[in-house]
Structure 1
Amino acid sequence: MSILSIRNSDFVDEFGRTLMLRGINLAGSSKIPSRPHLPTHIRDGFFNHREVSFVGRPFPLDEADEHFARLKKWGFTFLRFLITWEAIEHAGPGMYDDEYIHYVHAILEKAHSYGIRVFIDPHQDVWSRFTGGDGAPGWTLELAGMDLRYLQETGAAIVHALHGDPFPRMIWPTNAHKLAAATMFALFFAGNDLAPKTFMEGEPAQEFLQRHYIAAMRRLAHALRDQPNVVGFDTMNEPVRGYIGIEDLNECCGRPRLGDFPTPLEAMVLASGIPLEVGVWDFKLSGNRKIASRLINPKGQRLWREGFECIWRSNGVWDIGPTGQPRLLRPFHFHQVNGRTLNFNQDYFQPFANRFAREIREEIPQAIIFIETEPSTPAPHWGKEDAPRIVYAPHWYDAYTLVFKHYSSWVAGDFHTGKPVFTPWAIERSFREQLARFKHEAKEHLGGAPVFIGEFGIPFDLNNRRAFRNGDFSAQSKAMDRSMRAIEANLLSGALWNYTPDNTNQHGDQWNGEDFSIFSRDQQTDPEDIHSGGRALDAVLRPYPVATAGKPVYLRFDRKKKRMEYHFEHDPTINAPTELFIPSFQYPSGIRVEAPAGQTRYFPEDQRLEYSPAEPGGIHRIIIFPA
């Protein structure tokens, strides 16, 4: 395994070769406990959040050889390895699950034996399992005064275990704008400014939450400091601004708006036990629109535990007027502080990311820090005083296929704007431009940091799960190929979302009805065949340049013809060959190579091709065909 480091805007090895990292997220079900097994649709045991274990996520140690051998065979030698804050510190503040930490160490040690690098992803979605996502321990909400049993009844969250099946398609992201998650993120990132009267165990809420989160990650980093294949840490998966920056609490905020969607003030009033009619929204290709109203919390249940008041009422945002009606006292409370307009990424995420980097590097000095901001928002401006050796790791999806779980060659979406794109030619161009935007941001905002797409992928339960009934995954292959071509056109490294070892056709990745795994036991017909269980592998498993002795210029793979063309500008100071991954799945009978300006050596047992220029310098072209 070669050394990985950063130089200018590239990942490089010890020879100075440019590395293209073809990675995958491991695993979708790492968001949920293993003991007891608690996929998000199960209510029994849901509230016993202090008595869980994540040992065995992503898979039991005795299954590690099977899965790492498959990932290595498929060319996924760089893992975005999911862990959660809850997995480390579920029992209570400062109470760490060292059994889980030891398990993670053992799993990553096994990954090293397969030549697989990893970076740790402290994963969260909309704060916690108890607010409809994953990540933070349940006790964080309890210390804020919330009673977990009434999160859904009071409109503070929509939770799979409490709602039941069928869980509405892609409704879980709306929790980012509901009271529970929006409050917790406001406390975590900006509690000192926005909730100065709120304390946890005698400590300001912001300091308490950030200190415990980072301490938990440091605990894991300390245990992994001897693992040479652990190259770094992400700061936090998809951080959310919550209420930070909202201009008017009387207006709906955030997108997509789907299902019950109270305004921030309505959400605060509902959580205080006052029934209200709120807007019900739908999301279609033409956009968001309000379609109805519905009475929420008709029984007048309070979210706040005995002895606690609404955090925002306590901090002077709203109150009950003389006539018993709620009244908004500070409509712009979250938008401006002391006359300063708030910017989440710049004012709050950036200081947090610097603190995180500083403390992780006290455990692993050489750690690379991967940063990602709220999806579809620009990166913060990074200066010389900010943490060095960072990687920009934004997420990107084919928005139309993601939201509607439908593939069309003629319709797609812009992940940044949410607007539709029509015709195959326009979609191809739009996808290239959407991804190129990240490279531009890295150059303009982050001093030319390398870009690594932390998540991209497609749902496999497309078209009402038709492929699970007829075995035809051609729509999934087309959707995946379209995304992969955009990644390759921009010469980007990235990690597919995802590989879930316990994926099933019925419950997908075991979390909120999502089904993105490129592997499923339910598609595995021959356990002796390492490829069996793979989905859309004709689009997923692609040749690519692993290490380039120079600067990559052009890459394209035609999955139907199985033709790969790669151009690069050779650097004569590099004394090592260019290496390409050649998946045997695509080329079972071997390959034909056109490389007019150099010599090649093919090692089929290692799925590797080496290229050495006949003359130094210049642009070199390599074309690969089936034999």
Structure 2
Amino acid sequence: MTALRIDGPWFKDERGRTLMLRGVNLGGSSKVPFSPDGATHNGDRFFNHRDVSFVGRPFPLEEADEHFTRLRAWGFNFLRLLVTWEAIEHAGPGMYDEAYLEYIRAIVEKAAEHGITLFIDPHQDVWSRFSGGDGAPGWTFEVVGFDITKFKETGAAIVHQTHGDPFPRMIWPTNSGKLAAATMFSLFFGGNDFAPETKVEGVPVQDYLQHHYIEAMVQVAKKLSGLTNVIGYDTMNEPLPGYIGIEDLNAPGGIVKLGSSPSPFQSMLLGSGIAQNVGTWKLGITGERKVDTQLVNSSGVNAWLPDRECVWRCNGVWDLDANGQPTILRPHHFTKVRGRRIDFSDDYYRPFANRYAKAIRSVSPDAIIFIENEPRHVSMKWGAQDAPNIVFAPHWYDGFVLFMKSFRSTLAVDFRTGKVIFGSKRIRRSFADQVASFKQTSKESFGGVPTLIGEFGIPFDLKGRRAYRTGDYRDQIRAMDRSMRAIEDNLLSYTLWNYTADNTNARGDQWNDEDLSIFSRDQQTDPTDIHSGGRALAAVVRPYPRAVAGEPLRMAFDIKKKTFFFEFHHDPAIEAPTEIFVPNYQYPEGYTVEVSDGSYETDLVTQTFM
């Protein structure tokens, strides 16, 4: 790919052409250590968090040519390359894994050899592996007083390694509202306001955590300095507010209520060894519903280290009354600061993103910064005083398919409202409208910068992994196509979630039983066939305009008829040709072309029409 720059809502190359970026997230297993095997179903040496290595993620260097060749054959010349804070700084504060940094540079150099451009994604989900996700090192809990070995008994997190199998389907997002993750995000983004009494080595906890996170990513930027195929850096994958903004400390919170779902106040008490009757929730087509109540932490286990106590008790949120009963002292602690109502996006995420951008650009001045914000509330007031040269990179999923692991052609959910959508035509319109709303957010909140869908995709283990037994991937193909069309309808660039080199049928992407990889070794029946191992390629591998000598107006691909339509407004000032990727996978016997004007030529080797 040629040099890339931002021009209004579009990406442009140095010849003035509009670029449509087609990429993948690389890769799903980069969330966990390579050595020892950090797959979440494997609990061995889990708590030995300082002695790990991510060298080998996203794949061993000797496999790089194979995987990059496959991605290029499928039309992908762009990556969202996952790294984690833990991978860089797992050994302790300020102790960087130089071997890993060198390895990431080698991977990026390999990508460049294959003509692949990328941006770096500092990935996290619900803070850390030790709170049921990935991202932050284990020591971040310890410096604020947590005992990570006690999260299971206290309900502070539900973690695959300590829960064991079977692990409840899509339960991991519930950690967003549980004590461990919610506390860490609150301290990271808003510790100065919400936990002023909490300091680490004499430094306010917010400043301490942000400093180490940002400096870890600066190490990556330094190591990749001079590599021209690195165009920028994401700020943080799916940042969460923790408790910030919560109105009612007695109501269950988090992204989703599923399984045991304590309220913030209950979580604080559970972490302090005070047993609670906690509601159990189920998730269905019509939404969340409470189905039971269970006693949690009847043994009085404490989630805090022996010489520490709950940071929220220390900061005056709650205490025991004269009768020894827990009571909330500051019910609006997380909604108002000095009498003013706060907003997570504008008051906490935005200052962090600016601080991060400044630090990255001290090393890489031209780096594009990718902004995504809290998944449920993506808008914010980004103005002239904020960092320039940014891209809005929200995530969007077919929520019904993702959470239920089932596809129905006539049923879906609108992520904006949570309402069920019936009928395939209504779903088509709704999905296009949902994605279009991101473009509108870019216009209203960010001044009309480019919108890139940083994540979307489908689980392949639908209906209990039926396709792996039958070879029938029709549901997966239809589900993927439905999402692809919504993005194409809006002429947006994307990085698909995901490509995992070590995906297996049994364990998916090696993390929390997720299985969204478009490649699996277990489906690779012929190693000499570059397409072997691919999943739902009929929908994944699609024609698209790589570089347009003008402004794109409309595009559509019909996977049944295999017809591709593209309309654009030609700019006569641009001398370079329009280039369209036409995959041999879709047209093994060749294809015919109709153009409204001009001449064209085809190159079957590069799979290019221009």
What's the TM-score, normalizing by structure 1? 0.97
Q: Is the 8 A contact 1:508 1:515 kept in 2?
A: yes
Q: What is aligned with 2:354?
A: 354
1:546-570 Cα offsets, whole Å, 9 max, x none, are 0000010000000011100000001
- Once residues 23 and 128 of structure 1 are traced to their aligned partners in structure 2, the CA distance between those partners, rounded to angstroms, is 26
Q: Does 1:45 align with 2:60?
A: no
Q: Give 1:239 shift.
A: 0.1
Aligned residue for 1:531? Answer: 531
Partner of 1:621: none
Number of residue pairs aligned between Structure 1 and Structure 2: 610
SS in 1 for 2:154: coil
Counterpart residue number, 2:141: 141
Alpha-carbon shift at residue 9 of structure 1 (Å): 1.1
Structure 1 CA distance for aligned equivalents of residues 567 and 484 of structure 2: 18
Task: Tell me which amino acid in the other structure corresponds to 1:57.
Answer: R
Pairing 1:67-466 to 2, within 5 Å after superposition: 67-466=67-466
Task: Answer whether contact 2:177 2:253 (CA < 8 A) is retained.
Answer: yes
Gaps of 5+ in 2: none
Name the SS of the counterpart of 2:592 in structure 1. Answer: strand
Contact 1:399/1:418 (<8 A) preserved:
no
User: Could you list the runs of 4 or more consecutive aligned residues of structure 1 that deviate by over 6 angstroms after TM superposition?
Assistant: none
Query: What are structure 1's unaligned runs of at least 5 residues?
Result: 611-627
SS for the counterpart of 1:162 is helix
SS at match of 1:455: coil
Distance in 2 of aligned mates of 1:399 and 1:286: 12
Higher mean alpha-carbon deviation, 377-386 vs 262-271, is at 377-386
CA distance in 1: counterparts of 2:304 and 2:205, whole angstroms: 16
Question: Following the alignment from structure 2 to structure 1, what is the Cα–Cα distance between the partners of residues 365 and 98?
Answer: 22
Of the structure 1 ranges 34-43 and 432-441, higher mean CA displacement relative to structure 2 is found in 34-43
Identity of aligned residues (%): 60
Please tell me the residue identity of whatever aligns with 1:66.
Answer: E
What's the secondary structure of 1:567's corresponding residue? Answer: strand
How far the C-alpha of 1:341 sits from its partner, in A, is 1.0
| Separation in structure 2 between the aligned mates of residue 512 and residue 416 of structure 1, nearest angstrom | 26
Q: Residue 372 of structure 1 contacts residue 379 of structure 1 at CA under 8 Å; is this kept in 2?
A: no
Does structure 1 residue 521 correspond to structure 2 residue 516?
no
- Separation in 1, partners of 2:218, 2:254: 33
User: 3-state DSSP class of the match of 2:565?
Assistant: strand
Q: What's the CA shift for 1:360?
A: 0.2
Q: Any idea what the Cα deviations from partners look like across 1:373-412, whole Å, max 9, x if unmatched?
A: 1112132111111000000000000011011000000101
What root-mean-square deviation, in Å, do the aligned CA atoms of Structure 1 and Structure 2 show? Answer: 0.7
**Post-superposition shift, 1:325?**
1.1
Question: Contact conserved, 2:176 with 2:255, CA < 8 A, in 1?
Answer: no
**SS state of the match for residue 606, structure 1?**
coil
Q: Does 1:65 align with 2:65?
A: yes
Counterpart code for 2:118: V
Instruction: Between 193-202 and 249-258, report the one with greater CA deviation.
Output: 249-258
Counterpart for residue 26 of structure 1: 26
For residues 128 and 70 of structure 2, the distance between their equivalents in structure 1, rounded to whole angstroms, comes to: 31
Partner Cα separation in structure 2 for residue 252 and residue 104 of structure 1: 40
8 Å Cα contact 2:68/2:111 also seen in 1: yes
Q: Secondary structure at the match of 1:281?
A: strand
Which residue of 2 is the match for residue 485 of structure 1? 485
Equivalent pair of 2:49/2:138 in contact (CA under 8 Å): yes
Deviation string, structure 1 residues 502-553 (Cα, Å, up to 9, x no partner): 0000000000010000000000000000000000000000000000000100
- After superposition, the C-alpha distances for 1:128-175 in whole angstroms (9 at most, x for unaligned) are 000000000000001111111111110110000011111111110010
**In structure 1, distance between residues paired with 2:29 and 2:262:** 30
Residues 541 and 585 of structure 1 are in contact (CA less than 8 Å); yes or no, is this contact kept in structure 2? Answer: yes
Instruction: For residues 79-126 of structure 1, give each alpha carbon's deviation from its aligned partner in whole angstroms, at most 9, with x where no partner exists.
Output: 000000000000000000000000000010010000000100000000
- Which gives a bigger RCO, structure 1 or 2 (Cα 8 Å, sep 6+)? 2
* 1:575-617 C-alpha deviation (Å, 9 max, x unpaired): 111000011100111110000311111010010010xxxxxxx
Q: CA deviation at 1:416?
A: 2.4
Query: What is the deviation of 1:252?
Result: 1.7
State the one-letter code of the partner of 1:566. Answer: F
Contact residue 234 and residue 369 of structure 2 kept, 8 A: yes
The aligned counterpart of 1:567 is 567
Q: Secondary structure at the match of 1:591?
A: coil
Other structure's SS at 1:593 match? coil
Query: In the alignment, which residue of structure 2 is the partner of 1:597?
Result: 597
The answer to which of 273-282 and 432-441 deviates more is 273-282
Tell me the distance in 1 between the aligned counterparts of 2:315 and 2:331. 13
CA contact (8 A) 2:178 2:254 kept: no
Give the match for residue 585 of structure 1.
Answer: 585
Task: Report which stretch shifted further, 91-100 or 336-345.
Answer: 336-345
Rounded Cα–Cα distance in structure 1 between residues aligned with 2:428 and 2:33:
39
**Per-residue CA shift, 1:467-511, capped at 9, x if unaligned?**
011111110000000000111000000011000000000000000
Give the deviation of 1:241 after TM superposition: 0.4
Indicate conservation of the 8 Å contact 1:178/1:262, yes or no: yes
What does the per-residue CA deviation read over 1:258-291, in whole Å, with 9 as the maximum and x for residues that have no partner? Answer: 0001111110001001111111111111111111
| Cα displacement (A) at 1:250 | 1.4
1:540 aligned partner: 540
